[in-house]
Structure 1
Amino acid sequence: MFEIRNLSRHFGTKVAVDDVSFSIPEGQMVGVIGRSGAGKSTLLRMINRLADPTAGSIRYGDVEIVSLKGEALRRWRRDCAMIFQQFNLVPRLDVLTNVLLGRLNHRSTALSVMNLFSRDERIMAIAALERLGIEQTVLQAAGTLSGGQQQRVAIARALMQEPRVILADEPIASLDPLNAKVVMDALADINRRDGITVITNLHTLDTARAYCQRILGMAEGRVVFDGPPAELTAEVVRRIYGAEDDFDERMTSTSITPQWVPAPETVPGLAMQAAAAM
């Protein structure tokens, strides 16, 4: 379980996250909503320790995340995978190599420097791409893919870390509705099938309602709502977004609905054929 207690982050005189406290049981899918600048991205970056808190505590089980350093911090970043809006792929490298980069925190420094990946790791990478329906791109340069395909490659890379937690920072903000649906379906499938905790920042209320078991609403660095989608009333939405009475949440709509059909099995077919050819 995550235990966030009195967490704050200041940038000079600006308070990005202000005395935030909540807990998240293992295996939950949580959506974090709010206006731009509400503190959503800073919150996720502190959980992954890409940003250090000014004050407060982040506990995962018995581990105090805020105090981690060196190898212990490296292990946490392996266990707590991060997916970014900008994909953060290496455009000139092929898709397979980009996915394999998710194994770096499982390997020795020497092997990482030499970029040596095992046959089993290659099978695992192709299986992750099959699961996400983009195995046909395996040898393409990542920079030649569409935005939706690149985000699925980023999710496959995160799966290679074998994480306990996935943090997704606006994963569909730059995608069209169809690709947004594919990406959110993939995250929901990972949450349900693998039991991985997923915490995702979202701008769109309909997406948060459709996919998340629980929603955190942030405004001016504070959590002003914490509950299931059914309790996200029009009054609560106006409080989160600081809107007037005429606020229409359809303005944030992506018009996507979840696909609850389980994804195909991860390994058969292409994974074994590719392995035989290596």
Structure 2
Amino acid sequence: MRFELRDITRRFGDNVAVNAVSLDIPQGEMVGVIGRSGAGKSTLLRMINRLVQPSSGSIHFGDAEVSSLRGRALRDWQRDCAMIFQQFNLVPRLDVLTNVLLGRLNHRPTTLSILNYFTREERIMAIAALERLGIEQTALQPAGTLSGGQQQRVAIARALMQEPKMVLADEPIASLDPLNAKIVMDALRDINVREGITVITNLHTLDTARTYCDRIIGMAQGSVVFDGRPEALTADIVRQIYGANADGSGIDEGMTSTSIEISRPKATAARQVAGFRPLAAADA
């Protein structure tokens, strides 16, 4: 199913955060949204997930007008459109497994959610998701004891538990070191390729967008100023998106690089039975 934005605008008082953005995204694309801080990237993703209501315009997914959904239909959309945040949004005192299981809340009756009851099948599904991300050994640890890179992988596992049709990632690697940034981006790309799920991610780093994304959308002052393949992102367009340094030079794309080679072990027998392969060996 195609996803479409039609003249989406969001105003905060006199400030126009997103200005008449129109996009048509086929199912299964991995899209990177780049731009300076304040360009409107996060507001755009939050409107797609309906955490922020558009001031005008409409959002469509298949035959549904997402921007008009209310009540249960809206909750179903937020289940189908999983959101991954820069700050992880885990419950630190709960163990990792429970945090991952919370991704099932919109799939189950309210009574079971209140009782915090999860089925054996759901627990197996959660362990499989953690194995897929290479962090199954942390399942019984409080989420707050993990490193930033591990916590972001827990957040991705929780998103997988939603069985989404689309994944939105709002600056998922902004607070991570290059090694963990690569692990997280590998995970998102793997989800995109293996499940055919559309992934839209906001990114600060140009080399990451070029490496992982099929399509790059550049935003400046709330508007889309570039929409195309990575190879079409020229130095002139980069300057249009980011401006120039004080000396007039261009942006250094390697300032925070994810281009690090990581060796990965073969899948364990348990993972092979579950039908998953590990994405990374590092638990940093």
Paired position in structure 1 for 2:28: 27
Q: Which residue, out of 235, 244, 249, partners 1:246?
A: 249
- Partner Cα distance (2:242, 2:59) in 1: 26
> What residue ranges of structure 2 are gaps of 5+ in the alignment?
276-284
Q: Secondary structure at the match of 1:250?
A: coil
Residues 211 and 251 (structure 1), Cα distance of their counterparts in 2 relative to 1, 3 Å cut: closer
Post-superposition shift, 1:247? Answer: 1.8
- 1:237 matched residue in structure 2: 238
1:73 partner letter: L
1:217 deviation in Å? 0.1
The answer to whether the 8 A contact 2:93-2:142 is kept is: yes
Task: Name the SS of the counterpart of 1:218 in structure 2.
Answer: strand
Closer/same/farther in 2, CA of residues 266 and 253 from structure 1, 3 Å limit: farther
Residue in structure 1 matched with residue 69 of structure 2 by the alignment: 68
Q: What's the counterpart of residue 275 of structure 1?
A: none
Specify the code of the residue in structure 2 equivalent to 1:189.
Answer: D
1:270: how far off?
A: 9.2
Larger CA deviation: 25-34 vs 249-258: 249-258
> In the alignment, is the contact (CA less than 8 A) between 1:205 and 1:252 conserved in 2?
no
Distance 1:110 1:263, change over 3 A: farther
Separation of aligned partners in 2, 1:260 and 1:5 = 43
Shift of the alpha carbon at 1:261?
8.0
Q: Measure the CA separation in 2 of the matches of 1:161 and 1:118.
A: 15
Q: Deviations over 1:4-28 (max 9, x none)?
A: 0100000000000000001100000
Q: 1:264 to 1:74 in 2, by over 3 A?
A: farther
Deviation, 1:253, is 3.3
State the identity as a percent. Answer: 70
**Other-structure match for 1:57:** 58
Q: Which residue of 2 aligns with 1:125?
A: 126
Q: Does structure 2 conserve the Cα–Cα contact (< 8 Å) formed by 1:41 and 1:169? A: yes
Which residue is 2:102 aligned to? 101
Alpha-carbon separation, structure 2, partners of 1:230 and 1:261? 29
Does the 8 Å contact 1:131/1:266 carry over to 2?
no
- Corresponding pairs, count: 272
Question: Structure 2-normalised TM-score?
Answer: 0.91
User: Structure 1 segments of 4 or more deviating over 6 A?
Assistant: 258-263, 269-272
Following superposition, the deviation at residue 254 of structure 1 comes to 1.6
Q: Deviations over 1:136-177 (max 9, x none)?
A: 000000000000000000000000000000000000000000
Asked whether the equivalents of residues 211 and 258 of structure 1 are also in contact (C-alpha less than 8 Å), the reply is no
Are 1:256 and 2:256 an aligned pair? Answer: no
1:203·1:252 contact (CA, 8 Å) conserved in 2? no
Specify the code of the residue in structure 2 equivalent to 1:204.
T
1:68-126 residue CA offsets vs partner (Å, 9 max, x unmatched): 00000010000000000000000000000000000000011111111100000000000
Contact map agreement 1:131 1:265 (CA 8 A) in 2:
no
- The CA distance in 1 between the partners of 2:109 and 2:176, in whole Å, is 36
| 1:250, distance to aligned residue in structure 2 (A) | 3.0
C-alpha contact (below 8 Å) 1:210/1:257 kept by paired residues: no
CA RMSD of aligned residues (A): 2.1
